[in-house]
Amino acid sequence: MSALTPHPPIWRPVTLWMLNFLIAGVLGYLVMLQQAVDHPNVMVSLHLPLQNTEGMSKELEDAVAEVAQTEQANPVAAVPVAIPVELKSRLVEIGEEPYWSVVASADAEVTEDNWHTVLVQNRTKFDSTQWVAASRDWLLVEQDERLKVQFRSEVDAMRDILSRKNRGKYAVQMVSLPEREFVKAVELMRRLQREGHYAYLHRTENAYKGTHWFRVRVGFFKNPDEARAQGQEILEHFRTERLFPESFWPVRPSPQELSKELLDLRKPINKPWVLTLPLYADLADALKDLAALSGKVDASYLSVRMDPESGIPQYRLRIGFYEQEGEATAILRRLGQAKTPPFLSEASVARL
């Protein structure tokens, strides 16, 4: 009978297995850390107890020390206060000429210190400049130093003079609301935009029954039938919410509306003086004051930013634009002498 071969002690393979397991874990952590370095937006939530290395092998101790050095050399940066997507605008105030930057993407890197212009008044027309994620036939473009609405279906019409008859000349008026319901009018405009419609507000030239009225309109269409059909589609879509009355109708917009211009981007350069009001913590309050002033001024704009300290939105209302400081001061004085809401007493003259 041959002698039996002795078995090796069982603790050796167990020890090797445990050592390999620990090394694999450290290597996996190094891979995750490297990904965080390459992609700063990736946060590493795993932390090893690096202070205690007693009982480790020399190789494992060196690997852990390397991880500690890497963490010290590449600390994870604090996440800045980001402006929510629903508050982002195509118009970002950059604080220098040309004052406004028309950003090309909702993902554009804009610091929390930048103000986003979200609503602009151009005489009797009010437009939202916030981002719209829905698929749509229109977009806001910078053209000849102006911010304009451009319809994809009209691009060919601009190139071909024979096709200009296809350009929209009608709008559909969904509802008309008094000044006291301006906040609701703005929300209806935004709801329509979020569904892909080009919606805007048109203020009456004169007061009727002691108040200006704000018409929620959707444009633009080749003929009244197209406008009426679109109005019916909108009515059916929102019927369960009862947002709009049954009595919508096609209208012929004013030349200013059909020009599709939202804002002349050169104004802050040529006319750098404005009236500015104290910051608002509530959007509804800012909109109410804007409505109260809209019948007395031709241009105003509302902006928002995230307060870097509190992380909550701040709103700013400005009236303009004026070529000289004296002109802005005279306008402020004139508004103060008229039957203007008390909040205007806190307004001041500022240079952009």
pLDDT average per 10 residues of sequence, the chain (352 residues): 51 62 60 45 34 45 50 44 65 86 71 86 95 87 91 68 68 97 97 96 93 96 95 97 95 93 93 96 95 93 90 94 96 82 87 94
* Spatial separation of the C-alpha atoms in residues 140 and 221, rounded to whole Å: 18
**The pLDDT of residue 275:** 97
Give pTM, 2 decimals: 0.74
pLDDT at 97: 79
Distance between CA atoms of residues 318 and 299, nearest Å: 9
Q: Where are the alpha helices (DSSP H) in the chain?
A: 11-38, 58-73, 155-159, 182-194, 224-237, 255-258, 267-270, 283-294, 325-337
Contact indicator for 33, 67 with CB cutoff of 8 Å = yes
Residue-level pLDDT at 22: 64
Q: What is the pLDDT of residue 345?
A: 85
- Per 3-state DSSP, what percentage of the chain is helix, strand, and coil (rounded to 5)? 40, 25, 35
Say if 40 falls within a structural domain.
yes
Q: Is residue 291 part of a domain?
A: no
Within-domain flag for 26: yes
Question: With contact defined as beta carbons under 8 Å apart, do 215 and 202 qualify?
Answer: yes
CB atoms within 10 A of CB 184: 17
| Position 251 in a domain | no
Structurally, how many domains does the chain consist of?
A: 1
- Residue 84 belongs to some domain of the structure: no
Per the structure, the complete domain to which residue 61 belongs is given by 11-73
Find the Cα–Cα–Cα–Cα dihedral 343, 203, 94, 313, rounded to 10°.
50
**Contacting residues for 13 by C-beta, under 8 A, at least 6 apart:** none
Residue 66 placed within a domain: yes
**Which has the closest alpha carbon to 323: 288, 296, 287, 299?**
299
Report DSSP state, residue 197.
-
Give the DSSP letter of residue 323: S
Question: Residue 264 forms beta bridges with which residues?
Answer: 146
- Give whole-number Cα distances, 322 to 103, 131, 269, 317, in Å: 25, 28, 10, 15
CA distance 250 to 219: 10
Any domain includes 59 = yes
Query: Quick check: is 51 in a domain?
Result: yes
